[in-house]
Amino acid sequence: MSELDRVTQDYKVHRDEIHTKLVQIMRERLLANLRKLPQIVESWNGPDDNDSQPSLFAKAVTKEVTYLHRILSQILLEVDLQAIFRASSPDIPFPYHRSIFKVGSQ
């Protein structure tokens, strides 16, 4: 194996480790917010629920996803960015990923 091949392989391994770590961070943030959801759901559609604004939960998740997208889009290729976002939330249907990317790029 030539030196260039070894360096190329090391780069790919390192990149994959970074992507895995970013996915892990994003999943942890999503889970942290999801743990708060049951308390928030209890207040939805209750007698005191006449607020037409998004919930604090929705605002917090949107803020975190938008921030991560904005930062990562400055340093990653679009294809890598999309792969990381897809891997971090595999249960969200693909059209919602497009919405996340659209919001994140504004």
Find the mean pLDDT for residues 29-51.
Answer: 74
Structure pTM? 0.65
| Residue 80 confidence (pLDDT) above 80 | yes
What Cα–Cα distance (Å) separates residue 22 from each residue in 25, 29, 33, 85, 99? 5, 11, 17, 9, 20
Residue 53: CB atoms within 10 Å: 7
| Rounded Cα–Cα distance for residues 84 and 50 (Å) | 37
| Residue 20 confidence (pLDDT) above 80 | yes
CA 78 from centre of chain: 14
**Nearest CA among 55, 33, 60 for reference residue 45:** 55
Of all residues in the chain, what percent carry a pLDDT higher than 90? Answer: 29
Find the mean pLDDT for residues 15-31.
Answer: 89
Domain ranges in the chain? 3-104
- pLDDT tens for 42-76 read 766 666 666 677 777 788 888 888 998 999 999 99
**The predicted structure's pLDDT at residue 94:** 47
